[in-house]
Structure 1
């Protein structure tokens, strides 16, 4: 069960999305609280699961030569066990940086970062060749360039009581 957030909580979340390394003092000034109550609110937002984690976002294009691919994946079997096995495989594959179960023609859409096209082909062919996974088809879209990466989650004011 989620609690209702007030305007201060929402300001805190927006500021932390923009800069997760902001000091508590600077955050408190931006949201109009003194430092101690601000820190208490941040800790409560963390405890309640609104803030999942803090991490550095890397520019993979500056870091290394690689290919980014959006893969649409279809499974032969739709049973719970089949999905769980496939999802566990994706979670254990470091090249899969995001994955969503989706409605529509495909079952999953995954974002992958691979060394090159050959490495991507080898990875997805391994999924298709593994009869336990039951992958029937992988449709690939090579990312040419990002238009928007790592956007903040929109926070809708109407969620307030």
Structure 2
């Protein structure tokens, strides 16, 4: 199922579940104007298709007294083998909570969460000092405060779908 094949009810389901992933099927079905059974079938279809990847609880970073850093990472050599080694190492590191391969001055941007700046520095110094990682440079942007957090993807409204 491609996102283009969604109808207005699918879009309402996706928007509602992004807002509250713990919503009961009964509450969801009332919100989107279906009975519970067809609503559940649609949710399962959306899950099976991969449009709904998973459900998660979003935690408050400040409540845990952690430091977040946005790191711009440049590799020494940009070839498949070097990228693969680097990406596997990052995927295995719990402090790396998100990472994207990007275009531009740097090769990757990662959001890293550590108990302190010292722990972050130790982590990134380890990457730079390890020749197998192939990291040439890391530019660190310490998060001072959250202005807006990720609360889900922008799901087009039924009206927007009609216009496209």
TM-score per shorter chain, which class? over 0.9
Work out the CA distance in 1 between the residues paired with 2:161 and 2:102: 25
Deviation at 1:156, TM superposition (A): 2.8
Query: Unpaired segments of 5 or more residues in structure 1?
Result: none
Provide, for residues 47-83 of structure 1, a one-character-per-residue CA deviation record: whole Å limited to 9, x for no partner.
Answer: 1111000111111211x22211000000001000100
Alignment of 1:42-121 (within 5 A): 42-62=43-63, 64-121=64-121
Counterpart CA distance in 2 for 1:9 and 1:156 is: 11
Give 1:159 shift.
Answer: 5.5
Query: Which residue of the partner structure matches residue 17 of structure 1?
Result: 18
Shift of the 59–76 alpha-carbon distance from structure 1 to 2, 3 Å rule, reads: same
Moved over 2 A (4+): 156-161
Query: Is the 2:11–2:156 contact (alpha carbons within 8 Å) kept by the matching residues of 1?
Result: no
The answer for the alignment partner of 2:139 in structure 1 is 139
Write the distance in 2 (CA, Å) between the matches of 1:137 and 1:87. 15
Q: Which runs of 5+ in 2 are unaligned?
A: none
Give a deviation string over 1:77-108, Cα, whole Å, max 9, x none.
Answer: 10001001101111100000010000000000
TM-score by length of 2: 0.93
Alignment deviations for residues 10-65 of structure 1 (CA, whole Å, 9 cap, x no partner): 00000000000000000000000001000000000001111000111111211x22
Aligned to 1:38: 39
Distance, in Å, in 2 between the alignment partners of 1:151 and 1:71 is 21
